[in-house]
Amino acid sequence: MLIDIITGLSYLVLAVFFILRLNHPAKEVPEWGKWLPLAPIALHLYALYLAIETGAGQNLSLLNTLSLISLIMVLLVAVYRLSHQTPHLMLYACLFAGVVSLLNLLPEKPNILMLKGNTLAFWHIWLSVIGFSLLLVATFQSALVLFLHKKLRSKPASIHPLLPPLMQMEQFLSALVLSGIISLGVALVLGFMQPDSALKAQSLHKIILSALAWFSFCTFYLGYKLSRLSGIRFARLCIIAFIILAIGFVGSKLVLDYILQRG
């Protein structure tokens, strides 16, 4: 659809803006620059509405779900950026959202669900998507924490002036992981409360991997808060835990819908 092309290109243009910002850190940026992400976000929201809402129900196909995740991720980073300096994180979010928006042009098998009137399924899906989005941002933030730590250890240290202090980045990472743990944990509980027919429709390995990833994030977060894990090790382990989550959350559906051609 044309709206997907416009949305994807808008995100990529915004990504170019942040690349130029990173290449010229000393250049003054007007206050309205903080509101630039709102334009592609609005386009993205409209495109998602057209893609998901159908007369028969809600189409939560793989690409539509990924598009929803990328929208939440960009919105989260954009809100955080209003009070903190995060051009690197915003760049990654825009690139991810832009690529996903353009991938939405590919044909795929629809996955129609009737969520209206099914409160349990509605909140299970929404909290799962929100939790995945939060932990995806946490993964990007983990990569930035590791990158900054590597720069601090180099001699002489060469740190980009727009990178926040390491402690601030670790605090944001910790908050993201905690929020993701809560959202995903409630989503898992609601998932187990659904009727047996709905549970049997889910892949067993998806449930196991999602639960394993959630437990891993909980363990790593507690280890970090109890000072048994350094911020650097916490960041590395968060990336590993997210890979497990992504395999369960996205990988199983990718195999079923695109490789085995069954949903």
Other CB atoms closer than 10 Å to residue 253's CB: what's the count? 19
| CA distances for 102 relative to 5, 23, 61, 87, angstroms | 6, 26, 15, 22
- Is 129 contained in some domain? no
Name the DSSP letter for residue 33.
G
Tell whether 5 and 77 lie within a shared domain.
yes
Tell whether 163 and 227 lie within a shared domain.
yes
Return the pLDDT at 199: 61
Tell whether 170 and 80 lie within a shared domain.
no
What percent of the chain is modeled with pLDDT above 70? 91
- Is 199 contained in some domain? yes
Which strands make up the sheet holding 57-59, listed edge to edge? 53-54, 57-59, 112-113
Place of tokens 């983990």: 142
pTM, two decimals, is 0.91
State which amino acid sits at residue 154.
Answer: S
Question: Is the per-residue pLDDT at 263 higher than 80?
Answer: no
**What is the count of structural domains for the chain?**
2
- Is 126 contained in some domain? no
Question: Is the per-residue pLDDT at 253 higher than 70?
Answer: no
Return the pLDDT at 134: 97
pLDDT tens for 136-168 read 999 999 999 999 888 887 766 678 888 888 899
Question: Of 46, 79, 114, which marks where a domain is finished?
Answer: 114
Tell whether 98 and 158 lie within a shared domain.
no
Tell whether 157 and 238 lie within a shared domain.
yes
Q: Rounded distance, CA 228 to CA 197, Å?
A: 42
- Is 244 contained in some domain? yes
Tell whether 100 and 200 lie within a shared domain.
no
- Is 122 contained in some domain? no
Q: 3-state class of 51 per DSSP?
A: helix
Length of the chain counted residue by residue: 263
- Is 235 contained in some domain? yes
Tell whether 24 and 83 lie within a shared domain.
yes
Tell whether 98 and 174 lie within a shared domain.
no
Tell whether 145 and 106 lie within a shared domain.
no
pLDDT tens for 87-135 read 999 999 999 999 999 998 888 888 888 888 788 888 989 999 999 999 9
- Is 37 contained in some domain? yes
Tell whether 95 and 202 lie within a shared domain.
no
Tell whether 64 and 14 lie within a shared domain.
yes
Q: Give the range of the structural domain holding residue 75, as residue numbers without chain letter.
A: 1-114
**Of the listed ranges 101-115, 119-133, 176-190, 215-229, the one predicted with least confidence:** 101-115
- Is 130 contained in some domain? no
Tell whether 23 and 106 lie within a shared domain.
yes
